[in-house]
Amino acid sequence: MSFDLVLFGGTGDLAWRKLLPALLQAHRHGSLPAGGRIVGVARDDLSDAQYRDLIRSRFEGVEGDKQPSEDEFARFAELLHYQRMDLTQPADYQRLKDRLAERNADVVVMYLATAPQLFTVACEQLGAAGLATPHTRVVLEKPLGHDLQSNRAINAAVRGVWGERQIFRIDHYLGKPSVQNLLALRFGNALFEPWWRRETIASIEITIAERLGVEKRGAFYDQTGALRDMVQNHALQLLCAIAMEPPINAHADAIRDEKLKVLRSLVPWTDAALAQNVVRGQYGAGQLAGEPVRAYRAEDGVAPDSHTETFVALRAGIANWRWAGVPFYIRTGKRLAAHEAHIAIHLRPTPHPIYPTPLVCGTNRLVIHLQPRDGLALHLLAAASETRGVRALAEAPSLTPVQLDLDFQQRFGAERVGAYERLLLDVIAGRLNLFVRADEQEAAWRWVEPIMQHWDAQNARGEGPRPYAAGTWGPGAASALVARDANTWLEEC
């Protein structure tokens, strides 16, 4: 099957950091279908050869097994082509059309890795130029809009040109092997289903903590913030994977229907809940790995009086039979103490304790480690603390936490495929399972919008996010949020 992958934003940050490395890996692994062509599109005036040289420089200094050999890069470079385009100019789309007509590939993928302001015009122009044929697919990167209304406007523009089955909305968390495993764990094993519910589960924590700050994206991030950047999409998609009902099969719409039901069941916000159950923070100067780091407001591109949040912690609820009353805590932030994402499922204590000393955090929990480690840990209690001769054996031994560990990286190692590699291959093959449908996105925006409005009102009163020092776990109010339910975050256990 031949394909043309047209990479709008072909010299941009995303192509540079994620997409071209992922395509190179897919090519090295032999998983990219033969007969492919990658056409980088940007405004720069470059020839094919100059584009290849530029991309080659991307891989200089790459270490370890990600470093391609000369020969590997040379073979990959044969796929690379370049087309100069100004996305607002109709004539440039005609030139692209001529370029694509040279070979009439079986599948044409239009990957919009551009600034989101260009999505609408690019889709309209591609449609007007006759480039939205039935064998074309379009890939949209987040953020898809700034709020519900702008999200709907983009989706309307895209759907004016393509059918829903041709639209691939990326949430790269869905491509992560660890998230694949989460679904496999739940729906490939009978073991979990009987206790995957409110009767056994006391609370669920979803943490996506980053050590990184805003890097070179200060100007973008200052308009975005952690709620739009991470919660509306990645964190809510993880919540769906945890909370959804078993789909009737593994096809895209069966899975997406179930995720949508979860998003629609999220307990709507009230003023009281917004005041109590949402914490926003912004990092100040601090220390990370012994190095001083500057405050968010001192980052390039960030307003010195910015009220943008770099941290969010919230308590959500799901109003359905399986989950009623179970708190779902979501927490994400930049410049935190660790680079670590996990989902911790805390089980209820035994109904009638027969052993002494109830331990703090001593109940059973299942921790799904998403990154950088990728695996499962089942925390159990065992009677391991008694040793002969130290003291008289008690009638009932006190319990000690022990842990069953599974490390997927060790188990599957080199066979693992990275998130973008996986998603790009899915687009080329036309598999929609790991992509987000418009109605899911809308439901997620609908749920986060009251939080945005609540913060706008606070900002207008001069009340900004709570400060936290870089290198910590965020504002103390985040701990207070879970402590009100007599819970703790995983690292506090």
- Residues tagged active-site: 234
Q: How many residues sit in the footprint of ligand BG6 (CB under 6 A)? A: 2
Coil, helix or strand for 79? Answer: coil
3-state helix, strand, coil in the chain (%, to 5): 40, 20, 40
**How far apart are CB 45 and ligand BG6 at their closest, in Å?**
29
Question: Quick one: how far is CA 408 from the chain centroid?
Answer: 19
Nearest CA-CA partner of 307 in 204, 221, 423 = 221
**How far apart are CB 213 and ligand BG6 at their closest, in Å?**
10
Q: Which is nearer to ligand BG6, 273 or 368 (CB)?
A: 368
Q: How far is CA 315 from CA 147, 183, 206, 233, 265, in A?
A: 21, 23, 10, 16, 14
Please tell me whether 334 is known to bind a ligand: yes
Please tell me whether 86 is known to bind a ligand: yes
278 vs 309: CA distance, rounded Å: 12
Q: Which is nearer to ligand BG6, 210 or 257 (CB)?
A: 210
Do 288 and 335 touch, CB atoms closer than 8 A?
yes
DSSP sequence for 390-453: TSPPPSSPPPEEEEEEEEHHHHHGGG---HHHHHHHHHHHT--TTS--HHHHHHHHHHHHHHHH
Do 34 and 3 touch, CB atoms closer than 8 A?
no
Place of tokens 């700034």: 146
Do 363 and 349 touch, CB atoms closer than 8 A?
yes
- 140's enclosing H/E stretch is strand 136-140
- Residue 48 structure tokens: 């094919």
For β-strands 328-333 and 311-316, DSSP reports them as antiparallel
Q: Which is nearer to ligand BG6, 92 or 229 (CB)?
A: 229
Please tell me whether 87 is known to bind a ligand: yes
String of contacts with ligand BG6 for each residue 51-90, x by CB under 6 A: ----------------------------------------
Q: Which is nearer to ligand BG6, 4 or 141 (CB)?
A: 141
Place of tokens 């040109």: 161
Q: Which is nearer to ligand BG6, 230 or 482 (CB)?
A: 230
76 vs 5: CA distance, rounded Å: 14
Q: What is the DSSP letter of 351?
A: S
4, 222, 229, 309: residue in contact with ligand BG6 (rule CB under 6 A): 229
Q: Which is nearer to ligand BG6, 11 or 232 (CB)?
A: 232
Please tell me whether 141 is known to bind a ligand: no
Place of tokens 């842990």: 403
Q: What is the DSSP letter of 19?
A: I
**Of residues 3-42, those binding ligand BG6 (CB under 6 A):** none
- Residue 475 structure tokens: 């504002």
Q: Which residue's Cβ lies closest to ligand BG6?
A: 229
Asked if 374 interacts with ligand BG6 (CB under 6 A), we say no
Q: Which is nearer to ligand BG6, 196 or 221 (CB)?
A: 221
Asked if 210 interacts with ligand BG6 (CB under 6 A), we say yes
Asked if 491 interacts with ligand BG6 (CB under 6 A), we say no
Do 58 and 51 touch, CB atoms closer than 8 A?
no
Taking every pair of Cα atoms in the chain, the longest distance, rounded to a whole number of angstroms, is 89
Strand ordering across the sheet containing 3-8: 80-84, 36-42, 3-8, 107-112, 136-140, 167-169
In the annotated binding site, the residues are 43, 86-87, 142, 172, 176, 210, 229, 334
| Residues of the shown chain interacting with ligand BG6 in the complex, contacts defined by CB under 6 A | 210, 229
Binding residues for substrate: 172, 176, 210, 229, 334
